[in-house]
Structure 1
Amino acid sequence: MKIEQIKVFVSCPGRNFVTVKVITDEGVYGLGDATVNGREMAVVAYLEEHVVPCLINRDPHQIEDIWQYLYKGVYWRRGPITMAAIAAIDMALWDIKGKVAGLPVYQLLGGKSREGITAYGHANGETMTETLDNLGKFIEQGFKAVRLQCAIPGLGGTYGTLGDKKDYFELQSDRPLPPEQPWSTSKYMNFIPELFKQARERYGYEIQLVHDVHSRLTPIESAHLGKLLEPFNLMFLEDASAADNQDGYQIIRNHTTTPLAIGEIFNTVWDAKDLIVNQTIDYLRTAITHGGGITPMKKMADFAAMYNVRMAPHGAPDLSPICHAAHAHFNLWAPNFGVQEFIGFGTAKLNSVFSHPLSFDNGYIHLEDKPGLGVEYNEEEGLKHAYKRSYLPVTRLEDGTLWYW
């Protein structure tokens, strides 16, 4: 068996997605997700100009060697564009291997470690009351864990809430440029502990709660927030601070016992190595699409397990159903799986382009047994949804200083 052709598709059934299809000379094909939100076409160019020509006529079963070839053989290693391109190829090759073997990918990884995949949903709101009402709705749906994000009074737009417009695409429909949102650390710090206090008073402590800071605090500010949230027993505080300087997480760890999660913008294990070894985090949130594929994520999970770090893959709506399915296979296998971020199964438009083997019931994601990843991409339907240039927002402090979004 040889790789005969590799196609790259870009479609926008609600969000932009970059899909890779690796086709063999025996007609078996595999799919991968190469989406980097806001930089999609950079990945397309990387694939079409630099990756695809190198893989024609190679044996698709040599997954490890091809991964090493695309990573070590480039010299210019790492980075989101490179690793998303590698990830898409890697997912597609695992998909092919599963189809040839007649087995779902999780069986090739070593089989199941659990029957269901614990998922957490997003309860958002423009007011504290709306957010808490939405939390109640998630509890009624059977969720065992829920993330709480609420608009901060006095700030016009906050991460996780977008006022009357619920999609970043809507903010860029006339002239695609990064939307700008204001930020005030003091207003945020004065508000968030009360949100969780009221959540516990209203719903008790059985439901697991999560909050995403989105890297907007310095380490000592994050330490203070973690301390304030300790009485409310969070499952974890996500992206408390940027981890460009990983030593900053030692400051946070020294001051709070609130569990910490990070990693959705990490691309390799080296981004997390010190955080894992020093045990300054509890959950690693790297996504398969952005972390180089299933091959390195399996190794990352094994490494993290030695330091009691659990896997909690990023599950944003800018990852395609191919990535979500890959996460499901990975999560079923990973002995140190923790929880999966879950934003639902998309719209009718999205599901007309992608079909997937996932379902949700009583707090758990379930995976239908199909060979490979179990996802199909409708090329004809994808052509109906043209790419639309768009960006994620940026944040400025109230004095105009650019800050972390």
Structure 2
Amino acid sequence: MKITAARVIVCSPGRNFVTLKIETDQGVTGIGDATLNGRELSVVSYLEDHVIPCLMGRDPQQIEDIWQYLYKGAYWRRGPVTMSAIAAVDTALWDIKAKMANMPLYQLLGGRSRTGVMVYGHANGRDTAETVDEVLRHKEEGYLAIRAQSGVPGLNKVYGVSGHHGASRMYEPADGNLPSEHDWSTEKYLRHTPGLFEAVREAVGPDVHLLHDVHHRLTPIEAGQLGKALEPVRMFWMEDPTPAENQDAFQWIRHHTTTPIAVGEIFNSIWDCKTLIEKQLIDYIRTTVVHAGGITHLRRIADLASLYQVRTGCHGATDLSPVCMGAALHFDTWVPNFGVQEFMPHSEEMLSVFPHDYRFERGMMYCGESPGHGVDIDEKLAAKYPYQRAYLPVNRLQHDGTLWNW
């Protein structure tokens, strides 16, 4: 069996997605997500100019060898562009292998560890009252775990919160503009957030899991202060409390709070989280199939995490395509140390481009039983949605304009 062709498909049905399709001489094809939000075309170039020529004529069944070839053989290792490209190849090859075996991907990985995958939804509001209403709406929809984000008095824009009601499920649109700029005040945020979650917990009761994304905004000691203040609410997790380049910094958060910590959606390899896991400085690792080198490498991260009772909590916003969600759900169904899966629903426009067999039911998601990872791409429909340049925002401190972490 040989790889005979591979091509990159770029489309923007509401936001940009990059998909790699690999073809074989036996007519079996596989697809993988290669989307890197805000830097999509860099991955396209890496795949088309460097990776795809190296795949021609190779046996697609040799997933491990191809992964090592693309990682070690390039000499320049890691990084979001490289690992997203490797992930696309890896996911497509697992899709092909599972189709060749005529079984859903989770069976090829080792079978089920659970009947379904608990997911958390996004409840976002312009103020505390609106956020509480959104949390209650998600509870009515059956969500067992809910992430709450709120506008902060005195700040014009806050991460995760739409400028108008009813549009909170989409982030930055693919509109071709340069990065928007948000303002930030740690002092105002820290004053507001504990009260937000007191109100949410009182409204929703004790049984719903509550999550919150700090989005890298705090120093370690500030994160410790927030975690301490949130302890009475019994959070499921506090996500990305501080930038994680310095992994040892998380020990200072641990010294000050027992609120569980989740981190890793921007991680690219096991080395990004090695210290965090081995020193048990986090409780959930949020690396994704597409940004952490595919299923092959994500399995290694999960296996390391399991030794230290760290569970998975894969990123699942709409900056990942339905291809990544399909692969993630098969991974979640198999992985023994699963925690939760983020679920930000794609629009109908997006889903029409990517036919899929996974489904959501009352707070749980279920991967399908078709061979492979269960997601395909309608190339003719995708061609109707050409790429549009788009960026994530940047953040500046409100009082003096210093660039801050978004």
Whether TM-score is above 0.5 comes out as yes
User: Residues of 2 paired with 1:275 and 1:367: CA distance?
Assistant: 30
User: Residues of 1 paired with 2:338 and 2:172: CA distance?
Assistant: 32
User: Residues of 2 paired with 1:136 and 1:303: CA distance?
Assistant: 36
5 Å-filtered alignment, 1:249-398, equals 249-344=250-345, 346-398=346-398
Task: Tell me how far 1:162 sits from its aligned partner.
Answer: 2.7
- Amino acid corresponding to residue 219 of structure 1 in structure 2: P
Task: Tell me how far 1:363 sits from its aligned partner.
Answer: 1.0
User: Residues of 1 paired with 2:191 and 2:28: CA distance?
Assistant: 56
User: Residues of 1 paired with 2:305 and 2:258: CA distance?
Assistant: 19
The residue that corresponds to 1:85 in the other structure is 85
Q: Does 1:27 align with 2:63?
A: no
User: Residues of 2 paired with 1:368 and 1:35: CA distance?
Assistant: 23
**TM-score, normalization: structure 2?**
0.98
Task: Tell me how far 1:347 sits from its aligned partner.
Answer: 1.9
Task: Tell me how far 1:169 sits from its aligned partner.
Answer: 4.5
5 Å-filtered alignment, 1:237-252, equals 237-252=238-253
User: Residues of 2 paired with 1:31 and 1:62: CA distance?
Assistant: 16
User: Residues of 2 paired with 1:50 and 1:359: CA distance?
Assistant: 36
Task: Tell me how far 1:168 sits from its aligned partner.
Answer: 4.7
Q: Does 1:114 align with 2:78?
A: no
5 Å-filtered alignment, 1:186-201, equals 186-201=187-202
Task: Tell me how far 1:315 sits from its aligned partner.
Answer: 0.3
User: Residues of 1 paired with 2:172 and 2:232: CA distance?
Assistant: 38
Structure 2 counterpart SS, 1:255: coil
User: Residues of 2 paired with 1:157 and 1:295: CA distance?
Assistant: 38
The residue that corresponds to 1:72 in the other structure is 72
Structure 1 counterpart SS, 2:366: strand
User: Residues of 1 paired with 2:349 and 2:145: CA distance?
Assistant: 28
Structure 2 counterpart SS, 1:134: helix
- Amino acid corresponding to residue 14 of structure 1 in structure 2: G
User: Residues of 2 paired with 1:2 and 1:95: CA distance?
Assistant: 15
Task: Tell me how far 1:198 sits from its aligned partner.
Answer: 0.7
Task: Tell me how far 1:70 sits from its aligned partner.
Answer: 0.2
Q: Which runs of 5+ in 2 are unaligned?
A: none
The residue that corresponds to 2:4 in the other structure is 4
Task: Tell me how far 1:156 sits from its aligned partner.
Answer: 0.4
User: Which string of whole-angstrom CA distances, capped at 9 and with x for unpartnered residues, describes residues 317-352 of structure 1?
Assistant: 0100110001000000000000000012x2221122
The residue that corresponds to 1:224 in the other structure is 225
Structure 1 counterpart SS, 2:255: helix
State the 4+ residue runs in structure 1 displaced beyond 2 angstroms: 164-170
User: Which string of whole-angstrom CA distances, capped at 9 and with x for unpartnered residues, describes residues 374-399 of structure 1?
Assistant: 11100000000010000000000011
User: Residues of 1 paired with 2:215 and 2:368: CA distance?
Assistant: 33
Structure 2 counterpart SS, 1:376: coil
Query: Percent same amino acid among aligned pairs?
Result: 55
User: Residues of 2 paired with 1:58 and 1:238: CA distance?
Assistant: 40
Structure 2 counterpart SS, 1:355: coil
The residue that corresponds to 1:62 in the other structure is 62
User: Residues of 2 paired with 1:203 and 1:261: CA distance?
Assistant: 22
The residue that corresponds to 2:235 in the other structure is 234
**TM-score, normalization: structure 1?**
0.98
User: Residues of 2 paired with 1:225 and 1:169: CA distance?
Assistant: 27
- Amino acid corresponding to residue 372 of structure 1 in structure 2: G
User: Which string of whole-angstrom CA distances, capped at 9 and with x for unpartnered residues, describes residues 107-163 of structure 1?
Assistant: 111000000100000000001111000100110111110000001111001000131
Q: Which runs of 5+ in 1 are unaligned?
A: none
Task: Tell me how far 1:79 sits from its aligned partner.
Answer: 0.2
Structure 1 counterpart SS, 2:182: strand
The residue that corresponds to 1:126 in the other structure is 126
5 Å-filtered alignment, 1:97-108, equals 97-108=97-108
2:20–2:89: 8 Å Cα contact kept in structure 1? yes
